[in-house]
Amino acid sequence: MKLDHRVHQVPPQYALHFPTGEKKVLENTNHTFKEILANQQKLKISKHASQRLTERNIDIDDKEWQLIETKMAEARKKGITDSLVVTNHAALLVSTKNNTVVTAMNKEEANHKIFTNINGTILIND
């Protein structure tokens, strides 16, 4: 059986590349998939929202942030992408799609606003 000479005329960019035997060492962080996923889904606060929270003296404690995060996850499961979160003392515009607080205003300021481009509202009362 004679081999066809054209087999050896394959341009290098189309040739098969075999591993060189070098092993890549990945850093072992000992994190489970669940932990990595949880870190990706943590609530983020945009720079703009952070500035508004500070300027408007809006203080939200850790317990309330956790509740907001939980409710945003529930809203996301229902297909809501952009929402208004109303608490006893603040209103937050959030992107449930990106798990991000976009902006914040105190309750008095929110009473005089019209909110557009949202497809859901989350009410949180103490």
Per-residue pLDDT reduced to its tens digit, 8-55 = 555 666 556 555 666 555 555 666 655 555 555 689 999 999 999 999
What token pair was written down for 32?
């489970």
What token pair was written down for 114?
């019209």
pLDDT tens by residue, 48-61: 999 999 999 999 99
Residue of 120, 33, 46, 48 whose CA lies nearest to 84: 120
Is-contact 111 84, C-beta < 8 A? no
The per-residue pLDDT for 13 is 61
If you average pLDDT over every residue of the chain, what do you get?
A: 82
Q: Where do the domains of the chain lie, and which CATH numbers do they carry?
A: 43-123 (3.30.2310)
pLDDT (average), residues 91-96: 96
Q: Which residues contact 4 (CB under 8 A, 6 or more apart)?
A: none
The per-residue pLDDT for 103 is 95
pTM tops 0.95:
no
Is-contact 73 18, C-beta < 8 A? no
pLDDT (average), residues 88-116: 92
The per-residue pLDDT for 27 is 59
What token pair was written down for 15?
């040739």
The confidence band for 112, taking pLDDT boundaries of 50, 70 and 90, is confident
